[in-house]
Amino acid sequence: MKKIMTVCFLFVFVVSGFLPRVQAAVPKLLTYQGILKDSPGNLLTGTYSMTFKIYSASTGGTALWTETQSGVSASSGRFSVQLGSVTTLNLDFSQDYWLGIQVGTDSEMTPRVKLTSVGYAYMADNVVNGFTQTQHDALSHKNIEGVMANTKNIAKTNFKLDAYTQASANNMGDMVVDTFTDATGIHAASSSGYEWRGSPNYDVRRLATYTDETGSGTATSSSNYSGNTPAKAFDNVIHSNNTWSSDSVPSTGSPQWLKYDFGSGNTKTIKRYTLSNAESYPYNRTRAPKDWTFEGSNDGTNWTVLDTRSGITWNCDQCTQMFDFTNSTAYRYYRIKVTANNGGPTFVEIAEMEIMSAPATGSATVVSVAFSEPVAPKEVMVIASETLNTGTMTYSVSRDNGTTWTQCTKETVCNIQSQPTGTQVRWKAVITNDAELDAIAVAL
């Protein structure tokens, strides 16, 4: 019985700076190096037949790619092969992969080796060279949501590449990555005070309790149609006969605005607002705002743009849409300045608007589900993409399923041997005040 120890991956790009308009495909080869020993631990020398398989899981499943190299030379245990030199390595590396290794007629070795950043350079090849014009036209890049989602995907791919690179540089052979494309990686019962946000944010942050601050202030507008006065947008009634409506169609040159004044000496730090359209009527959805800015002021003359939206559509009646933004300044006046509705021929209409504040301080604890390691890890490294704003983030790792924790500095090798021996690993993030966790990786 043979076994492989101390494996690593090498991947080399050669780029010419003198041919900027020429693009070469990424070579579909991975250089794999290792040390071959027999069961007692003796280094082997000789020529061996070795079979390599790539799987989409750490155990079980069917191999996605297989290659047998019949003349692998080992000297004092050391060997080197190029995966893909016999069978084309045609995987797209858009997911995690594990490498299984078999020597001669021996059984496949365990555990499988998780591929690190090198293979995922293929993803870059797909991004640069892989789209046909038809595929490109089919992308959702023609709307704001599509652009934001595609940008997030690219950012998350870059994060994975960076995380795998850092793990490899520190000789860490396994990794768990969560980019929060869904909430399944979070153990909700062990977490508190947080919210997971889906498209287009895909992050985790402190869950703040928002309060609608309107009610005692004064509403005004650039204009209003008939009896559709600005106060009706702040009376907590959503109905087609109870709206604010301008008296003309908004445009860039002639925007229509709705303003709220909290009163002399009264300022609010607003971080969210909601808009509701009216119930069904021939033009109600087309009258709803499409493009606008949300602004704050302390004198009613000089305005600061706090949030900008464009291309917002309304796919139902009496719908409420929520808009968050970052703001740490208290203002007396707030207004929405609309430059386009959704195609209505007469005016812009808002059935209800909430202007909301949230506590600036507080914390959330986010704990991951457990993931199993074949042996008890001794060292870990947390790699994270975070947006701190005015907040902070601290990280801890447990190897005994969350009973014992060791706080770890981000992107620093962290020793966890003082914990009881265990193989059930979890990460924990404590989010304080205004901060967002965009992606996290734990290398072991």
- The predicted structure's pLDDT at residue 144: 53
Distance, in Å, from the CA atom of 65 to the CA atom of 395, rounded to the nearest integer, reads 37
Cβ within 8 Å of residue 107, ≥6 positions away: none
Strands 424-432 and 371-372: antiparallel
Question: Does residue 137 sit within a domain?
Answer: no
Domain co-membership, 75 together with 201: no
* Burial grade of 294 (CB within 10 A; 0-12, 13-18, 19 or more): buried
Question: Does residue 71 sit within a domain?
Answer: yes
Domain co-membership, 392 together with 288: no
Question: Does residue 283 sit within a domain?
Answer: yes
- DSSP output for 55-117: ESSSSSS--SEEEEEEEEEEBTTEEEEEETSSS-------S--EEEEEETTSPPPSSPEEP-G
- The predicted structure's pLDDT at residue 7: 38
Question: Does residue 229 sit within a domain?
Answer: yes
Distance, in Å, from the CA atom of 39 to the CA atom of 178, rounded to the nearest integer, reads 36
Give the chain's domain count.
Answer: 3
3-state secondary structure of 367: strand
Contact 120, 168 (CB under 8 A): no
Domain co-membership, 183 together with 238: no
- The predicted structure's pLDDT at residue 149: 61
CATH number, domain containing residue 248? 2.60.120.260
- The predicted structure's pLDDT at residue 150: 62
Distance, in Å, from the CA atom of 407 to the CA atom of 27, rounded to the nearest integer, reads 41
Query: What are the φ and ψ backbone dihedral angles of 29, each rounded to 5 degrees?
Result: -135, 140
Domain co-membership, 217 together with 353: yes
- The predicted structure's pLDDT at residue 28: 66
Domain co-membership, 252 together with 123: no
289 forms bridges with which residues in the sheet? Answer: 341
Burial 319-347 (b: 16+ CB within 10 A, else e): beeebbeebeeebbbbbbbbbbbbebeeb
Domain co-membership, 124 together with 11: yes
Domain co-membership, 16 together with 71: yes
Question: Does residue 200 sit within a domain?
Answer: yes
Burial 216-252 (b: 16+ CB within 10 A, else e): ebebbbbbbbeebbbebbbeeebeeebbbbbeebbee
Domain boundary among 357, 373, 399: 357
Domain co-membership, 56 together with 157: no
Question: Does residue 142 sit within a domain?
Answer: no
Domain co-membership, 324 together with 351: yes
Contact 220, 259 (CB under 8 A): yes
Domain co-membership, 119 together with 234: no
Contact 284, 277 (CB under 8 A): yes
Domain boundary among 100, 130, 160: 130
Give 26-64 pLDDT, tens digit per residue: 456 787 777 787 777 777 889 999 999 999 888 899 999
Contact 335, 349 (CB under 8 A): no
Contact 279, 287 (CB under 8 A): no
- CA-wise closest residue to 246 among 135, 143, 349, 390: 349
Question: Does residue 107 sit within a domain?
Answer: yes
Question: Does residue 23 sit within a domain?
Answer: yes
- The predicted structure's pLDDT at residue 8: 38
Contact 273, 353 (CB under 8 A): yes
Domain co-membership, 184 together with 218: no
CATH number, domain containing residue 164? 2.60.120
CATH number, domain containing residue 78? 2.60.40
Domain boundary among 96, 130, 164: 130
Distance, in Å, from the CA atom of 156 to the CA atom of 180, rounded to the nearest integer, reads 10
- The predicted structure's pLDDT at residue 356: 96
- The predicted structure's pLDDT at residue 209: 85
Contact 266, 280 (CB under 8 A): no
Domain co-membership, 188 together with 239: no
The total number of residues shown for the chain amounts to 444
- The predicted structure's pLDDT at residue 151: 64
Give 283-319 pLDDT, tens digit per residue: 779 999 999 999 999 999 999 999 999 999 998 888 9
Domain residues for 402?
150-205+362-443
Q: Give every residue of the chain whose pLDDT is below 50, as ranges.
A: 1-26, 120-131, 140-142
- The predicted structure's pLDDT at residue 111: 82
Residue type, 131: F
